[in-house]
Amino acid sequence: MSFFAGYGPLAELALLNMVLAFSQYIVLRAGVFSLGSAAFAAVGAYAAAILATRYGVPPALCMVIALVAGGFFGAIVAVPLARLRGVFQALATLALVQIVLSLALNWTSLTDGALGINSIPKAVHITEAAIAVVVVAYFLHVIGMSGIGRGFDIIREDETVAVSLGYDVRKHHMIAFVLSGAIAGLGGAMHAFSSYSITPNEFGFHMVVMLLAMVVLGGRVSIFGPIVGALILTGLPELLRGFQDYRSIMQGALLMLSITFLPRGIVDTVLGRLRHRSLSRGASAKDRDGVTI
Amino acid sequence: MLAQQLLNGVVVGSVYGLFALGFTLLFGVNHIMNMAHGAVFMWGAFAGLFAVTMFDLPFAAALVIGAVAGGLLSVVLDWVAFRPLRKRNAPEFSAIVSSIGANLILLSLAQQMTATRVMRFPFDTFPIRFYEILGVRVQLLQLVIMAVVILTVVGLVWYLQRTNAGRQIRAVAYSEGTSRLLGINPFSINFQVFFLSGALAGVAGVLIGLVFNSVHFMMGEPLLLRAFVVIILGGLGSIPGALIAGLLIGIVQVLTVSYLSAGMADVVVFSLLFLVLLARPTGLFGSASGGAARVARQ
Amino acid sequence: MSMLTLHEVGRDFGGLPAVDSLSMAAEAGKITGLIGPNGAGKTTVVNMIAGLLKLSRGRVELDGQDVSTMEAQHLSHMGVSRTFQNIRLIKEASVLENVLAGFHRHETTSTLSSLLGLPSAFRERRALLRRSMDLLERFDMADLADWPAASLSYGHQRRIEMMRALATEPRLLLLDEPVAGMNDAEAYSLAEIFRDVAAQGVAILLIEHNMRFVRRLCDHVCVLASGRLISQGAAETVVNDPRVIEAYLGS
């Protein structure tokens, strides 16, 4: 138990990061190159913190409202963003992060500016965070198995094929944005209820890079990708405690190495190898005609 | 008052244009979105600063050293972050992720080197002198900056249009496959394009460092974000587009700061980007097939 | 009335016509061949019919309805399906998942029930999986259902594309060089399947290089050279047409 006592806060952080990583995961899975999860998280976190500290709304309700607000915000920005592709989508979503950040810094009557919002009740502990991870992961798994998940996969791989099979790319991109917004809205609110205070700069470029790194390192197809990515990137700084100064350098190097040498991410690569091995074993017993390995 | 603000906007905007030019050049030729371009800019500014503070070199030498440092860093970046991906035929997504990683490393190194301090050019780096032109107070530095930007752009256009190497670069931008068949060496083209791109960032770094008299490890980030707006307004890969849009953003920003509030500048600039994308998904001057949805009949 | 009719269709690239004044038709229940030397514009024709390329001139009709400007997504829902000359699959996904993607047109579960994971979504998935397995058996690939598409041979990957196209249950099937890179035995086993599909009333437009294959399979053949129709008719007549011989030998 002492082990958990010492690492409790770290585990809680890892779980909360998983929720946010799911938000980044779902857009990348759908072939949407959005870097906007940090903006959605900021919307959720500020909505929850303001409601809880100024209007005394109970935390659970705040989190539901944050989820809806994030999803709603995702839906609004999806209207222009779903028309864009690739690089343009990435740039436009980065601009979105910057707009939200500037508003959080400068709309002081609402957000208290750079000081942030303090004395938020501590309502999220390790249990609540774990429940959120399981629930979000379950829904993402279900969606992944459904026709919508198939649409995401084929749109990500080849948009031309997708339209030739009758998939509505715009609709799928919109759905991905709404899901990403809702999940990040929830994740942001949970972050607020876990850490007593929030400041605008937490939702800036640093968060964008962290979430992207988690999903790239972990993997973009399997639901376990963002889970593993968040675990590694939350735990790594602890392992490197003596090397505080080199944390960002390690993170940057990890990002470069994984996208170059493990472009599919750890989980998807490992799952692919395992599947191939079990299939080969089955096939060698039977007929291997036509199978080129 | 308005004329004064417009002048300030044009000066800042022309440096934005210079910075965005290197960014858009890389995209136009190599289809690479270099998210570490802001870090190259920042290191260029540091190189220029050290040239002045450590070796007592004059302003002009600082500019050259900033350009060379930016250029070389950019070439190293290509070797470390982009070439391994090109060899593997990785998608454009990979290059963005890889350069985000490189950006993080370069920022972190600068942060440690300077212990997060803001550094300044010595007082006498550039003579402070004012002129009255048509009722507008013009600083000598502003005139020099505009002259440097104009000379750099003219030099770049001359290089691309008139020299053999420049023609090869444009051939690669037009069609990489065809140019390889014509015997153009992609290694040398990449070297030149990355060097030029980094050198432009380095010059812009020294200039911005002087204008605001502050050089620090985070100075590249706001510029990179503005460069996104500039190149989307101007059209990815378009040189005149980058310059015009750079000026426009500089003016919009200065006017917002003086007539609304300093904090609103970012909101206005980035909302402008959103509005443009809403109206024209490929940017104001972009070609038809830029970043818009590929789902329609071509 | 023909299932597919092209009226004086043309398409320019950079001012030069890649396809010009092409009029032809494909009948329901028949296999129509579209042949021609490399660069004749065959794939351009397919892309115009399938909704990926704009027409510069003329019009395309599906069952009498003008579909010249309809987008690919809607054409798919109208019953147009296709395969690609350069195989385009979800490489890491299994054979079964790839085929499953073709059933999109027949999905009835609402977006909301898919998002919430309501039982109707799971029921539909099971039903579609069964239908996918039926297709796999018909193409003799049931054993390979769980293999990642990219790990299989060229011939198998072409079959996956065909199954995916058939999963949409098309009225018009466009096959862009479906047997390229296959040996004769493989090609003729597919030919049987094409005949079956056509016999169910589907109009097939087959683009092919292999003359022997076209002669054995097609009811009607159109020959394209430099973007123009130079001959059409029964396979035997067309092959002996001096203009066709010249176009092939000349290239």
Question: What CA–CA distance (Å, rounded) separates C105 from C15?
Answer: 37
Contact present, A203 and A39 (Cβ < 8 Å): yes
CA dist C172 → B43, C62, C166 (Å): 60, 9, 10
User: In chain A, whose CA is at the least distance from the CA of B81?
Assistant: A256
Tokens coding B162: 């008139």
Are A193 and A50 contacting, i.e. CB atoms less than 8 angstroms apart? no
Q: What tokens does A244 get?
A: 């505080």
Task: Lay out the sheet containing C4-13: strands in order across.
Answer: C16-26, C4-13, C57-62, C65-66
Comparing B135 with C242, the larger pLDDT belongs to C242
Contact present, A37 and A24 (Cβ < 8 Å): yes
Cβ–Cβ under 8 Å, residues A252 and B102: yes
C105 touching A, CB under 8 A? Answer: yes
The two three-digit tokens of residue A251, written as one number: 């993170």
Quickly list H helices, chain B: 2-30, 37-55, 59-77, 83-87, 92-114, 140-162, 164-174, 176-181, 186-211, 220-234, 239-259, 264-279
Gyration radius of chain C's alpha carbons: 19
Q: Would you call B297 and C69 a contact, using CB atoms and an 8 Å cutoff? A: yes
Q: Contact B297/C72, CB-based, under 8 Å?
A: yes
Angle, CA A292 vertex, CA C159 and CA A149 arms, to 5°? 55
Chain B within 8 Å of A201 (Cβ-Cβ)? no
Structural domains of chain A sorted by starting position, each given as residue range(s) with its CATH number in brackets: 9-285 (1.10.3470)
| Distant-in-sequence, close-in-space partners of C102: CB < 8 Å, separation ≥ 6 | A165, C81, C163, C164, C165, C166, C167, C168
Q: CA dihedral defined by B168, B172, B175, B176, rounded to 10 degrees?
A: 120
pLDDT of residue A293: 42
Give the chain C residue nearest A176 (alpha carbons): C115
Residues A17-60: tens digit of each pLDDT:
999 999 999 999 999 989 999 999 999 999 999 999 989 889 99
Q: What are residue C26's DSSP bridge partners? A: C4
Question: Which residue among B84, B107, B232 sits closest to A88, beta carbon to beta carbon?
Answer: B232
Give the start-to-end residue ranges of the domains of chain C: 1-79+170-251, 90-167
Q: CB–CB of A154/A162 below 8 Å?
A: yes
| Nearest residue on chain B to A95, alpha-carbon basis | B270
Model pLDDT, residue B269: 83
DSSP for C122-166?
HHHHHHHHHHHHHHHHHTT-GGGTTSBGGGB-HHHHHHHHHHHHH
For chain A, percent of residues with pLDDT exceeding 90: 51
- Closest Cα partner for C129 from C112, C156, C106? C106
- State the pLDDT at residue B288: 44
CB-based contact A81:A89 (threshold 8 Å)? yes
Question: What is the distance between the alpha carbons of residues B225 and B16, in angstroms, rounded to a whole number?
Answer: 11
Quick one: average pLDDT of C224-233?
A: 88
Q: Do C104 and A275 touch (CB under 8 A)?
A: no
- Chains in contact with B, counting 3 or more C-beta pairs less than 8 Å apart as contact: A, C
Q: Which of A67, A2, A12 is nearest to A196 (CA)?
A: A12
Residue A206 corresponds to which amino acid?
H
- Mean pLDDT in consecutive groups of 10 residues from the start of chain A, 293 residues: 67 93 95 93 95 90 95 92 80 88 87 85 89 95 90 91 92 95 96 92 88 91 94 82 77 89 91 87 60 45
- Chain C residue whose CA is closest to B294: C52
Q: So what's the pLDDT on residue A46?
A: 95
Q: What are the strands of the beta sheet with C172-176, ordered from one edge?
A: C80-82, C172-176, C203-207, C31-35, C220-225, C228-233
The pLDDT tens digits for A144-163 are 988 899 999 999 988 999 99
Q: For B298, name the nearest residue in chain C, comparing CA atoms only.
A: C53
Please name the helix (run of DSSP H) or strand (run of DSSP E) that holds residue C66, with its range, or none.
strand C65-66
With left for phi above 0 and alpha for psi between -120 and 50, is residue A17 left, alpha or beta? alpha
pLDDT tens for each residue of C18-46:
999 999 999 999 999 998 888 888 899 99
Chain B CB within 8 Å of residue C71 CB: yes
What is the distance in angstroms between the Cα of C217 and the nearest Cα belonging to chain A?
25
Q: Are the beta carbons of B295 and A170 separated by less than 8 Å?
A: yes
Hey, what are B49's tokens? 């600063």
Query: Is residue B294 within 8 angstroms of chain C, CB to CB?
Result: no
**A–C: how many Cβ contacts below 8 A?**
112
pLDDT given at position B134: 77
Of B80, B97, B270, the CB nearest to A212: B97
pLDDT under 50 in chain B at which residues? 288-293
CB contact C118 to A (< 8 Å): no
Residue of C nearest to B296 (CA): C71
* Structure tokens given for C103: 């059933």
Architecture of domain C1-79+170-251: 3-Layer(aba) Sandwich (3.40)
Nearest neighbour of A279 by CB, restricted to C91, C146, C155: C146
**Exposure b/e, C60-70, CB count within 10 A at least 16 = b:** bbbbeeebbeb
Contacts of B86-94 spanning 24+ positions with Cβ under 8 A: B88/A260, B88/A263, B90/A259, B90/A260, B90/A263, B92/A86, B92/A87, B92/B31, B92/B32, B92/B33, B93/A33, B93/A86, B94/A259, B94/A260, B94/A263
Closest approach of A69 to chain C, Cα-based (Å):
18
Put simply, the answer to whether B298 touches C53 (Cβ < 8 Å) is yes
Helix ranges (H only) for chain C are 42-49, 72-78, 95-101, 111-116, 119-138, 154-167, 184-199, 211-217, 235-239, 242-250
Do A223 and A140 touch, CB atoms closer than 8 A? yes
Average pLDDT of the residues in C64-90: 91
Q: Quote ipTM for the complex.
A: 0.90
